[in-house]
Amino acid sequence: MRCEEELLPMNEQPIGVFDSGVGGLTVLKQLALCLPYERLIYLGDTARLPYGTKSRETVLKYSMRNASFLLEKGVKCLVVACNTASSLALEEMKERFAMPVIGVIHPGAKKAAAASRTRKVGVIGTLATVRSRAYETAIECYGADIEVTSVSCPLFVALAEEGWVDDEVTYRVAERYLRPVQGKGIDVLVLGCTHYPLLKPVLSEVMGKEVALVDSAEAAANEVAVSLRAEGLAAAAEGAAAGGAPTICLTDRSLHFLELGEKILERPLGEVEYVDLG
């Protein structure tokens, strides 16, 4: 793949996307819809999932390794689809790599700030994302008057991976986790973890119709489109990649990934490349 792609002009090189696992496919799907002429390569770090319970040092190390792998594949731009990695490692990646590096926190924060009328926003994410206060910092950039209440919901990742997206157990867990953001007058709940969009039916039932659920996938894809155009890196419409399936790489064999992945993308995953990142 590398040799072939070295011959391509820079704007025809792929966009590299990584996440700790399957959830980042929600971002990949939006990228494919928003940028149909782009080649996409996705790395799911299934061997080292979850990131959300790990320390900043570990998430930073894994993120740098993932980014280097995608760079070796010749990518022209990096999309950090994982909220935890975006919260803890984005700035370092931006400093290290001389290409656009786009995370999911700011696009989601911007969308949430624009959508909130009550100026009270809830954020749910992994332990690491919530502890980093990355969403609070980002939301403040777009609305200094917004009051943010954040809650970590670690079990949601396992429930989504298990496919229990509309299960009684998931309702009970959601009711318990979401208690701190209820009765606070919030009208927007940011789904600050790649897995949470899979639980939307449960989350929206528990939060009620008056609370809008915001996820970063579409907003992040739009930001990638803007950035590629600004940098002169957008693929030509008549490019060879048009309509092509994304390349999927995983660091471990995962049945969950294959099953859920096809549901998220609503298409067969095609051949998956297994890679050893040490």
Tell me how far, at minimum, the Cβ of 221 lies from ligand DGL, in Å. Answer: 15
In the bound state, the residue with its beta carbon closest to ligand DGL is: 52
50 makes contact with ligand DGL (CB under 6 A): yes
Q: Which helix (H) or strand (E) holds 143?
A: none
DSSP state, residue 4? H
Q: How far is the CB of 70 from ligand DGL (least distance, A)?
A: 16
Within 13 Å of residue 36, how many CA atoms lie on the same side as its CB? 5
Q: Which of residues 122-161 bind ligand DGL (CB under 6 A)?
A: 126, 129, 157
Nearest approach, Cβ of 163 to ligand DGL (angstroms)? 15
Asked if 178 and 145 count as a contact pair (C-beta separation under 8 A), the reply is no
Scanning 82-90, 167-175, 197-205, 255-263 for contacts with ligand DGL by CB under 6 A, the matching segment is 82-90
Least separation in angstroms between residue 225's CB and ligand DGL is 21
Residue indicated by tokens 């940011």: 190
Give yes or no for residue 83 binding ligand DGL (CB under 6 A): yes
Looking at the Cβ atoms of 193 and 248, the one nearer to ligand DGL is 193
Q: Which is nearer to ligand DGL, 15 or 241 (CB)?
A: 15
* Tokens of residue 138, six digits: 């980002």
Between 39 and 54, CB nearer to ligand DGL: 54
**Reduced to 3 states, what is the DSSP secondary structure of residue 169?**
helix
DSSP, res 237? T
Active-site residue, from 77, 153, 193, 249:
193
In 179-242, alpha helices (H)? 200-207, 217-230
Site residues (CB under 6 A) for ligand DGL, limited to 176-195: 193-195
Closest CA to 107 of 209, 191, 232: 191
According to the binding rule CB under 6 A, does residue 84 interact with ligand DGL? yes
- Rounded Cα distance between 100 and 76, Å, is 8
Does 257 contact ligand DGL by CB under 6 A?
A: no
Q: Is 13 in the site for ligand DGL (CB under 6 A)?
A: no
Handedness of CA 193, 152, 166, 117 (dihedral sign): negative
Among 19, 38, 215, 223, binds ligand DGL (CB under 6 A): 19
Where does 51-165 show beta strands of DSSP type E? Answer: 77-80, 101-102, 120-125, 147-152
Please indicate whether residue 82 is annotated as part of the active site.
yes
* Rounded Cα distance, 155 and 96, in Å: 33
Q: Decide: is 211 part of the binding site for ligand DGL (CB under 6 A).
A: no
The reply to whether 49 sits near ligand DGL by the rule CB under 6 A is: yes
C-alpha–C-alpha distance, residues 136 and 80, integer Å: 19
Catalytic residue of the set 82, 141, 153, 249: 82
Is 153 in the active site? no
At position 226, the amino acid (one-letter code) is: V
Pairing of strands 120-125, 101-102: unpaired
Q: Which residues bind ligand DGL (CB under 6 A)?
A: 19-21, 23, 49-52, 82-84, 126, 129, 157, 193-195
Q: Which residues are catalytic?
A: 82, 193
